């Protein structure tokens, strides 16, 4: 990554004109498409998508429910009642609105038209059978009874003689029986809320204090530009009302317009403040007037690029997503700040690119990925934000690495001393990770916040995310107060492919609703089913009418009516129209009439769009009865039940799902990227930890302060993840650079992070000045989160890195890895629980045993032996071997002497036989749990001396026990044996028993002294022959024996060590020196060392002692392996790649006997050496240089020295193709090795032989390869 951006910089550095041209083209291209982007101001885009929610939105959007603006006219004196005054003003108000705002108004519903009502009655009478349900015929049966007909006619006569008789004359003449009134009563379903009534044809509350009129705007609510003009005009007209009358209005149009206006104001204000602050802060901090402009270049480029990208992908974007641009601005400016600030510290733009390319690319990638995860949200606004933020940061990051270095490098850097004492630098120089109180405080607060985080809830009132001016809020409250049905309504939506199917579904719904109404579950309902009926049902009802009115029944009814009518004085022709009603041939309602019904009364209930039709039924029910309604219609195809209560619960559920999904996807993505990039789960976990802890802190603080999550401030979760991993990556990279190469960039990175935090806090904190709650909700939680993530990232990562890695290698021990820690914990847990079990068994067998104590102790020793074996063999990563050529079985007591390297030595010996008594130190005996087991086993205290334990030991020996003693007295920390003390030999002399030497090898490496890490060692036990009391070859006295046996033991130990500690034995040690230095280097080292077979060939060819020179040592794999395998070697290594030498010099195993130098071999000053290695490096030189170097190496050899050359022999034509291929990969593709402009030049084996012969040397070849021509040439003296 560093090389890629360095090459780009070098390319454009020589072609500045091309760079400026490309940058201008990039800006113009982005700006061209950005201008075409459409900005959506619809606040509903915030809401998460859901099939039922979308269904309700579709109903609202298409049925004009949401489009209607409710205008409420009332007296300001709430106690006064004057409906006529309200109507008088309303007439004037409607007249002015209709004339002045006609371009903005589609329809005004004010007075109920009497002609329209009469038309409705006529339609019902004309199609009477269509509006009669089956149960209505039972009512008809009762109406046409002779007695009932007589009473009805008498009542009609009274009505006709009353003042209202003139109006009712036609209705009575048309239907004297009252059958048509059955159908007309069903029109009462259209009155949904009993709180309203008609007064002088106007809709008014029953208390006559509020008059309502309804305006349907021409433009939908999301066209806020036009609607703002409309509402402004409406306000002007309302302002002219008399002083005692007030006008208020509420509706989606007003809410959307208010939101859009406030969003526009807040966006301009917050982004303006942010830009102003950044300009002033950056200018003063860097003490350069042009700094704000230069630093803002990537930000502007990124924003334009994002707008263009969103246009090409979606075509439009939510204005709220743009409103959060201050958030993106605060992050985007971080990238240019990192570049500018690091240049301020280094003054070398190429070094800036090399140092920042990796962390900035990785940090931006994870942040960008985190924002792109928002596209998985159910909210369109969050999707817009994810795209806008992601592409903004892509543009800003690339601009910071490609364009910005050229703009910065044009400025002359000031003296570094001028910048070295800024307050941010001083703050960055602090090392809070070394303060144990801060660490303890973070741990304690994390635990506390983990509990308080459980109190965090989600905001369920969506109104809290809308901005409404005070007047609009009051209007909403007033409307809710006078329209209680709105909060009790349940929307039942029937859907079909066309109107006929939808009506059939709606009619099924009505049947269920009637059943619920009979059970008092539904109070009232309103819908289209009373007036608009499916064709199939109309036909069915007409057929039922025809079947009901048989000729006999018609004749009987007409006979009764005429008879009773004549008796009451009706004229002979009074009932002719009724006769026509019974004899009429009825048809279904025609299309024109159906359209008239829809447009006049029910247009809001029927929606036709996109080859679908929905019919809505409004149901009024108590909250306690709503679950029964849900249950009735649940899982019925084509039917959806919705209400505000459902929406509230569903929104909470969706927000929870969105929150969980975004957090999970973002976490998995960020962690995966960190894992792949670092190649080590340990580093990934360390870098991820601040985000995890910060999230606990944020939730905990929210729980403490009662701050709730909502659909908007979920944005902050992605922001915190993005910033958290950005900061973590820079801290981690600073630590890794110092660990790998010694470069101390951490302070510079930390100061950049603090700068970033300041600018981001400015971008987010300024949102507190926003009035729109959707924007303001981001401020407090984001400021808290950023402060937390800065603190945690700057403390936790360095603390863990030092604890697990740096501090350990400074002590010369291996850094912890995930697997080594896991294996260590597993073995420790096994030991602890085993010790507890041993103590419990010991108490039973030894302490509480009332019978044979000795048998109990022997059994206890057997248990100890079994446990010791389990402990050693449960370590599957540790190889075990026992060398026992004489088949020692401990049948005869002996004093067993062993070298002492590790705490494992006791268990290695105890597992061999139950009849072993071990001398232990006081530390082992006083251990909390295992110490009790040791004491119950009668293991002796070394601190008491052998003399004080002599008689006790004598008794144990008589019982067949052997005694294990470590004559060195303490564990060896370096693997070298110490002087033997005399106690063991004194004891053997006093007891007259054999001495049994047992060599323990590998435990010191597997579990080293002073370190708890369990490594992948190889434990070997070697039994030496017994030394009997009669054997005087080791001396006559115990003092002499202590010296001679010690000398013999060390000799045998050294022989065993040399036979075991070959290069493969040191493989893990070499690996640990190169882990945490990048996944590419680590895996290259693993593959390289594996292919080289641990450099065993070179180890065998080179002397075990003396000075060894390695020219072309690369990263130092071979020098370290040769040093490990023969500790008396002095290694000198050189390479012309400075980066590789720097890495080699910073391995924790480096000591004074291994030295690295950055040098060109052609200019290297040679001394005298016992061995020289030129492995795979001569082909990087030209032929003349190759010959010169080989001769120079030969001349630098001491007498008996050896020169080892390995290189491709071009004379082996077929195999040489493989060599060329591997060099292509290493120099061109993977670029592990650098070449000069002259390229590669392979030599021939004959040339090497000729040079050796010319210098009086012997040359032999070793060919161990199958696919390459890499041959080992060993050049040494002929004698």
- Where does the pLDDT of residue 325 fall: very low under 50, low under 70, confident under 90, or very high at 90 and above? low
Burial of 551 (C-beta count, 10 Å sphere; 0-12/13-18/19+): exposed
- What's the average model confidence in pLDDT over 694-713? 82
The tens digit of pLDDT for each residue in 1203-1212 reads 999 999 999 9
Report which secondary-structure segment, H or E, holds 721: helix 714-741
- What's the average model confidence in pLDDT over 1141-1164? 93
Dihedral in degrees, nearest 10, Cα atoms 1132, 1136, 1137, 1141: 20
Query: pLDDT value at position 560?
Result: 87
Query: pLDDT value at position 316?
Result: 82
Lowest-confidence region among 121-130, 1007-1016, 1208-1217: 121-130
- For the chain, what is the mean pLDDT? 85
The tens digit of pLDDT for each residue in 156-168 reads 777 777 665 555 6
d(CA 597, CA 2): 74
- What's the average model confidence in pLDDT over 802-826? 93
pTM score: 0.76
The tens digit of pLDDT for each residue in 560-577 reads 888 888 888 888 788 888
Task: Return the top range by mean pLDDT from 304-308, 592-596, 997-1001.
Answer: 997-1001
The tens digit of pLDDT for each residue in 957-987 reads 999 999 999 999 888 877 788 899 999 999 9
The tens digit of pLDDT for each residue in 398-412 reads 998 898 888 886 555
d(CA 1235, CA 1239): 6
Q: Which residues of 469-480 are buried (b: 16+ CB within 10 A; e: fewer)?
A: eeebeebbebbe
User: CB–CB of 370/721 below 8 Å?
Assistant: yes
d(CA 1032, CA 1034): 5
At 1015, is the secondary structure helix, strand, or coil? coil
Residue 1178 has pLDDT above 60, yes or no: yes
- Give the rounded distance of the alpha carbon of 670 from its chain centre: 6
The tens digit of pLDDT for each residue in 209-266 reads 889 998 988 887 777 888 889 999 999 998 888 878 889 998 888 888 888 888 778 8
Residue 429 has pLDDT above 90, yes or no: no
Residue 1035 has pLDDT above 50, yes or no: yes
Lowest-confidence region among 379-383, 883-887, 1147-1151, 1274-1278: 379-383
Q: Which two tokens stand for residue 209?
A: 């204090």
Query: pLDDT value at position 324?
Result: 60
Residue 273 has pLDDT above 90, yes or no: no
- Where does the pLDDT of residue 53 fall: very low under 50, low under 70, confident under 90, or very high at 90 and above? low
User: CB–CB of 798/433 below 8 Å?
Assistant: yes
DSSP character string of 253-281: HHHHHHHHHHHHHHHHHHHHHHHHHHHHH
Lowest-confidence region among 33-42, 540-549, 880-889, 895-904: 33-42
Lowest-confidence region among 77-81, 350-354, 714-718, 739-743: 714-718
Query: pLDDT value at position 1227?
Result: 76
d(CA 762, CA 759): 5
Query: pLDDT value at position 416?
Result: 46
Give the residue from 285, 538, 536, 521 showing the smallest Cα distance to 425.
285
List C-alpha distances in Å: 53 to 59, 459, 1113. Answer: 10, 17, 68
List C-alpha distances in Å: 626 to 619, 644, 891. Answer: 10, 11, 87
d(CA 788, CA 697): 7
Residue 1224 has pLDDT above 90, yes or no: no
Sheet holding 1197-1208, edge to edge: 1154-1158, 1129-1135, 1106-1111, 1169-1175, 1197-1208, 1270-1277, 1257-1262
Helices (H) and strands (E) in the chain, counts: 51, 27
Q: Which residues of 776-799 are buried (b: 16+ CB within 10 A; e: fewer)?
A: bbbbbbbbbbbebbbbbbbbbbbb
- Where does the pLDDT of residue 47 fall: very low under 50, low under 70, confident under 90, or very high at 90 and above? low
Query: pLDDT value at position 323?
Result: 62
Give the residue from 47, 473, 48 showing the smallest Cα distance to 258.
473
List C-alpha distances in Å: 74 to 10, 93, 207, 235, 241. Answer: 76, 13, 11, 16, 11
- What's the average model confidence in pLDDT over 36-52? 68
Query: pLDDT value at position 648?
Result: 65
At 293, is the secondary structure helix, strand, or coil? helix
Greater confidence (1100 vs 766) lies with 1100
- What's the average model confidence in pLDDT over 268-296? 80
DSSP character string of 431-469: -GGG-HHHHHHHHHHHHHHHHHGGG--B---GGGGS---
- What's the average model confidence in pLDDT over 928-933? 90
Query: pLDDT value at position 163?
Result: 62
The tens digit of pLDDT for each residue in 465-478 reads 677 888 888 888 88
Query: Could you give the angle at the alpha carbon of 1254 between the alpha carbons of 1272 and 1241, nearest 5°?
Result: 50
Query: pLDDT value at position 1131?
Result: 96
Residue 647 has pLDDT above 70, yes or no: no
Domains of the chain: 67-111+205-250 (3.30.70.1430), 112-191+535-588 (no CATH), 818-1061 (3.40.1130), 1065-1277 (3.40.50.150)
Residue 899 has pLDDT above 90, yes or no: yes
- What's the average model confidence in pLDDT over 62-81? 79
- What's the average model confidence in pLDDT over 144-154? 86
The tens digit of pLDDT for each residue in 1056-1111 reads 999 999 999 999 999 999 999 989 899 989 999 998 999 999 999 999 999 999 99
The tens digit of pLDDT for each residue in 102-115 reads 999 988 888 876 66
């Amino acid at each position: 990554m560093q090389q890629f951006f360095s090459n780009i910089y070098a390319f454009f550095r020589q072609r500045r004109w091309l760079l400026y041209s490309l940058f201008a083209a990039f800006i113009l291209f982005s700006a061209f498409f950005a201008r075409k982007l459409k900005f959506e101001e619809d606040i509903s885009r915030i809401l998460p998508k859901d099939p039922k929610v979308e269904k309700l939105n579709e109903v609202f959007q298409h049925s004009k429910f949401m489009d209607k603006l409710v205008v409420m006219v009332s007296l300001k004196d709430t106690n006064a009642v004057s409906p006529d005054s309200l109507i008088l003003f309303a007439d004037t108000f409607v007249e002015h609105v209709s004339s002045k705002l006609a371009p903005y108004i589609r329809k005004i519903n004010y007075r109920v038209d009497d002609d329209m009502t009469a038309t409705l009655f006529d339609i019902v009478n004309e199609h009477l059978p269509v509006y009669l349900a089956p149960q209505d015929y039972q009512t008809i049966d009762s109406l046409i009874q002779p007695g009932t007909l007589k009473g009805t006619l008498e009542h009609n006569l009274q009505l006709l003689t009353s003042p209202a008789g003139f109006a009712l004359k036609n209705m009575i003449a048309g239907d004297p029986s009252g059958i048509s009134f059955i159908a007309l009563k069903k029109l009462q379903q259209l009155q949904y809320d009993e709180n309203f009534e008609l007064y002088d044809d106007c809709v008014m509350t029953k208390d006559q204090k509020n008059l309502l009129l309804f305006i349907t705007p021409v433009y939908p609510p999301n066209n806020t530009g036009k609607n703002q003009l409309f509402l402004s005009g409406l306000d002007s007209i309302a302002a002219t009302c008399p002083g005692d009358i007030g006008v208020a209005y509420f509706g989606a149009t007003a809410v959307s317009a208010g939101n859009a206006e406030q969003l526009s104001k807040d966006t301009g204000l917050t982004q303006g403040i942010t830009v102003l602050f950044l300009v002033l802060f950056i200018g003063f901090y860097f003490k350069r007037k042009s700094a704000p402009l230069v630093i803002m270049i990537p930000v502007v480029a990124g924003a334009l690029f994002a707008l263009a990208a969103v246009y090409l992908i979606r075509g439009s974007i939510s204005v709220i997503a743009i409103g959060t641009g201050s958030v993106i601005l605060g992050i985007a400016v971080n990238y240019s700040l990192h570049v500018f600030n690091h240049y301020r510290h280094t003054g070398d733009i190429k070094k800036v690119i090399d140092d920042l390319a990796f962390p900035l690319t990785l940090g931006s990638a994870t942040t960008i990925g985190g924002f792109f995860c928002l596209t998985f949200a159910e909210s369109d606004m969050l999707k817009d934000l994810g795209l806008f933020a992601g592409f903004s940061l892509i543009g800003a990051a690339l601009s910071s690495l490609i364009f910005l270095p050229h703009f910065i490098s044009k400025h002359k850097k000031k003296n570094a001393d001028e910048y070295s004492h800024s307050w941010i630098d001083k703050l960055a120089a602090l090392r809070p990770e070394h303060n144990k109180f801060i660490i303890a405080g973070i741990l304690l607060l994390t635990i506390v916040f983990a509990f308080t985080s459980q109190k965090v809830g989600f905001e369920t009132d969506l109104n809290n995310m809308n901005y409404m001016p005070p007047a609009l809020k009051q209007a909403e409250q007033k409307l809710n107060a006078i329209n209680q049905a709105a909060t009790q309504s349940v929307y039942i939506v029937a859907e079909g492919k066309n109107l006929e199917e939808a009506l059939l579904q709606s009619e099924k719904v009505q049947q269920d609703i009637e059943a619920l109404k009979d059970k008092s579950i539904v109070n009232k309902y309103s819908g289209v089913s009373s007036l608009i009926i499916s064709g199939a049902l109309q036909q069915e009802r007409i057929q039922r009418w025809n079947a009901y009115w048989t000729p006999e029944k018609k004749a009987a009814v007409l006979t009764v009516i005429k008879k009773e009518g004549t008796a009451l004085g009706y004229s002979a022709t009074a009932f002719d129209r009724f006769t026509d009603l019974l004899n009429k041939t009825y048809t279904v309602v025609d299309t024109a009439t159906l359209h008239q019904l829809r447009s006049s009364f029910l247009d809001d209930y029927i929606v036709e769009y996109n080859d679908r039709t929905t019919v809505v039924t409004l149901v009024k029910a108590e909250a306690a009865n709503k679950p029964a309604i849900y249950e009735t219609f649940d899982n019925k195809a084509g039917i959806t039940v919705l209400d505000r209560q459902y929406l509230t619960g569903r929104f909470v559920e969706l927000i929870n799902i969105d929150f969980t999904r975004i957090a999970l996807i973002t976490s998995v993505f960020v962690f995966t990227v960190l894992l792949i990039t670092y190649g080590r789960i340990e580093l990934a976990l360390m870098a991820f930890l601040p985000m995890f802890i910060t999230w606990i802190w944020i939730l905990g603080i929210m729980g403490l302060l009662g701050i709730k999550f909502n659909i908007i401030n979920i944005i902050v979760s992605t922001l915190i993840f993005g910033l958290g991993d950005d900061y973590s990556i820079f801290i981690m990279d600073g630590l890794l650079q110092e660990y790998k190469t010694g470069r101390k960039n951490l302070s510079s990175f930390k100061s950049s992070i603090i700068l970033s935090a300041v600018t981001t806090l400015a971008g987010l904190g300024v949102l507190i000045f926003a009035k729109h709650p959707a924007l303001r909700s981001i401020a407090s939680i984001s400021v808290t989160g950023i402060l937390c993530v800065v603190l945690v990232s700057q403390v936790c990562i360095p603390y863990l890195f030092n604890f697990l890695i740096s501090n350990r290698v400074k002590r010369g021990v291996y850094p912890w890895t995930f697997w080594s820690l896991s294996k260590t914990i597993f073995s420790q847990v096994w030991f602890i629980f085993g010790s507890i079990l041993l103590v419990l068994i010991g108490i039973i067998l030894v302490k509480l045993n009332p019978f044979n104590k000795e048998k109990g102790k022997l059994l206890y020793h057997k248990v100890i032996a079994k446990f010791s074996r389990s402990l050693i063999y449960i370590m599957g990563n540790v190889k075990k071997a026992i060398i026992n050529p004489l088949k020692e079985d401990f049948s005869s007591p002996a004093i067993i002497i062993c070298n002492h390297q590790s705490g494992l030595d006791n268990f290695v010996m105890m597992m061999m036989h139950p009849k072993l008594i071990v001398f232990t130190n006081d530390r082992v005996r006083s251990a909390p749990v295992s110490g009790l087991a040791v004491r119950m086993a009668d293991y002796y205290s070394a601190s008491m001396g052998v003399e004080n334990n002599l008689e006790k030991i004598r008794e144990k020996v008589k019982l067949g026990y052997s005694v294990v003693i470590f004559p060195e007295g303490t564990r060896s920390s370096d693997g070298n044996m110490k002087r033997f003390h005399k106690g063991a030999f004194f004891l053997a002399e006093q007891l007259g028993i054999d001495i049994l030497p047992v060599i323990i090898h590998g435990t010191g490496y597997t579990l080293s002294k002073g370190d708890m890490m369990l490594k992948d060692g190889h434990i070997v036990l070697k039994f030496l022959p017994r030394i009997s009391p009669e054997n005087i070859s080791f001396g006559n006295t115990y003092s002499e024996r202590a010296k001679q046996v010690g000398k013999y033991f060390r000799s045998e130990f050294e022989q065993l060590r040399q036979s075991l500690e070959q290069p493969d034995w040191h493989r893990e040690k070499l690996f640990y020196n190169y882990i945490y230095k990048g996944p590419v280097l680590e895996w290259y080292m693993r593959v390289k060392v594996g292919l080289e077979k641990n450099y065993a060939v070179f180890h065998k060819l080179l002397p075990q002692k003396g000075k060894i020179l390695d020219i072309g040592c690369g990263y130092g794999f071979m020098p370290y392996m040769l040093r490990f395998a023969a500790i008396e070697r002095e290694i000198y290594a050189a390479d012309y790649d400075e980066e590789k030498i720097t890495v080699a010099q910073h391995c924790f195993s480096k000591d004074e006997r291994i030295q690295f130098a950055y040098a060109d071999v052609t200019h290297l000053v040679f001394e005298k050496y016992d061995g020289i290695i030129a492995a795979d490096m001569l082909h990087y030189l030209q032929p003349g240089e190759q010959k010169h170097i080989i001769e120079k190496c030969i001349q630098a050899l001491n007498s008996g020295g050896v020169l080892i050359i390995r290189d491709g022999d071009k004379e082996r034509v077929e195999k040489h193709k493989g060599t060329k291929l591997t060099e292509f990969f290493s120099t061109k593709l993977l670029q592990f090795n650098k070449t000069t402009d002259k390229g590669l030049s392979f030599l021939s084996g004959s040339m090497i032989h000729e040079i050796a012969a010319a210098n009086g040397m012997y040359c032999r070849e070793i060919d161990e390869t199958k696919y390459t021509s890499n041959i080992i040439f060993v050049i040494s003296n002929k004698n």
